[in-house]
Amino acid sequence: MRRARRRRSGLPVLISSLAVAAGCAAPTTAPPPVVAAMSSTPAPSPAHLAAQPVAGPAGGEVRLSGEGYPAHGRVVFTFHGRRVGDTTADAAGRFAGVPVRVPDSFADSAPGTQFTIGATSGPLSAEAPFVITR
């Protein structure tokens, strides 16, 4: 006794052919993975700060100038994180020749030690290097 052969339906082939024609079929190659680039570096601030002189003794005077701050904004100055003064920026967001003192507490620092002078107004800040001398 011979078994009757089952006829295979052409339905799967027909469905996949229709899917390809309609543009619904899965692509034959995988698309490249999307990689999100994240940076832990903050966006650069438009603010700038300059110190004159760039080196001097503890207790000495430094004149600070800057730009890129909010118009009429209060700008706070720090020396190695310690507040040393403040000023108000002009209508263009600038200030010039503002005197601040290097704290006497840095007198024990070795000559040539570099510190940071900062100027901050709200979210905007800038830094300038300062080297202690004898």
Question: What pLDDT digit, counting tens, does each position of 16-66 carry?
Answer: 444 445 555 555 565 555 555 555 655 566 999 999 999 999 999 999 999
pTM of the shown model? 0.67
Distance CA 133, CA 127 (A): 19
Cβ contacts of 87 within 8 Å, gap of 6 or more? 74, 75, 77, 95, 98
Q: What pLDDT is attached to residue 118? A: 97
Question: What pLDDT digit, counting tens, does each position of 95-110 carry?
Answer: 999 999 999 999 999 9
